Structure 1
Amino acid sequence: MKIIINNTSMIPIYEQIVEQIKALIINDELKENDILPSVRSLSKDLKISALTVKKAYDNLEQEGFTSTIHGKGTYVLASNKELLVEERKKEIETDLEMAIQKGRRYGLTDEELKNLFIIILEG
């Protein structure tokens, strides 16, 4: 399992871990009943606090992605991938709405916003 931490990001490290593990589940790189690395092992690999990894694992469990069995480890649960994808789409939709509102506050027209979106989309 490959997780990359960006120490300069404004996103807390535990959230980076959560999002990357969710992505691994969506992309079928982690499947139902796969075991995640132990808290100590992952914290050592990432050179971060075990408490940070524990917080990420707790969040994943609260959201229904994993289950922790004391003394055995943390396992990936069966997931509704459509629900995960829908959650991501909603998050992107929210970000786009905020960008549109910001553009309008700066006086851009809808046509200018569309053109800007197309330019960015085409890379």
Structure 2
Amino acid sequence: MQIIISNNSKEPIYEQITNQIKSSILSGELPEGAAIPSMRKLAQDLQISVITTKRAYEELEKAGFIYSIVGKGSFVAEQDLEFIKEKKLKVIEEQLNAVITNSREIGLSLDDLQQLVRILYEE
């Protein structure tokens, strides 16, 4: 598992960690039951505070992506991928509605919008 932290991002470091681990779990890169690095090890590898990694792991645990066993570490929890995909699809639909509203406000045609989406998707 590789985590890349950007100091230029507006996203807090703990959120960058959380999002990258979630993405690895959802993509199958981190399968159910897989061990993830300890908070201390990850903090050391990323050269950040243990408090930051602790917060990221707490967020992941609260969201049901990982579970921890005292003295053994943290592991990828069983995921209901269909439920997660459905939630993400709902978020995408809401974001697309906002994009469509903004596109209509500036007179962007459906063809131009589709072309823009295609370009961005293929990058």
Gaps of 5+ in 1: none
1:102 maps to what in 2? 102
Q: Percent of pairs identical after alignment?
A: 44
Tell me the distance in 2 between the aligned counterparts of 1:100 and 1:12.
29
Q: Which residue of 1 aligns with 2:50?
A: 50
Query: Amino acid of the residue matched to residue 105 of structure 1?
Result: E
Q: Give the Cα separation in 1 of the matches to 2:62 and 2:102.
A: 33
Higher mean C-alpha deviation, range 76-85 or range 110-119: 110-119
| Corresponding residue number in structure 2 for 1:40 | 40
Cα RMSD of the aligned pairs, angstroms, is 2.1
- The TM-score normalised by the length of structure 2 is 0.82
Q: Which runs of 5 or more residues in structure 2 are unaligned? A: none
Measured after TM superposition, the shift of residue 19 of structure 1 is 1.6
The Cα of 1:35 is off from its aligned counterpart by 1.5
* Partner deviation per Cα, 1:49-93 (whole Å, 9 max, x = no partner): 211111111111111111112222111111112222223323332
- Number of residue pairs aligned between Structure 1 and Structure 2: 123
SS, match of residue 67 in structure 2: strand
When residues 91 and 16 of structure 1 are mapped into structure 2, their CA distance, relative to the original with a 3 A threshold, is: farther
Name the SS for the 1:67 alignment partner. strand
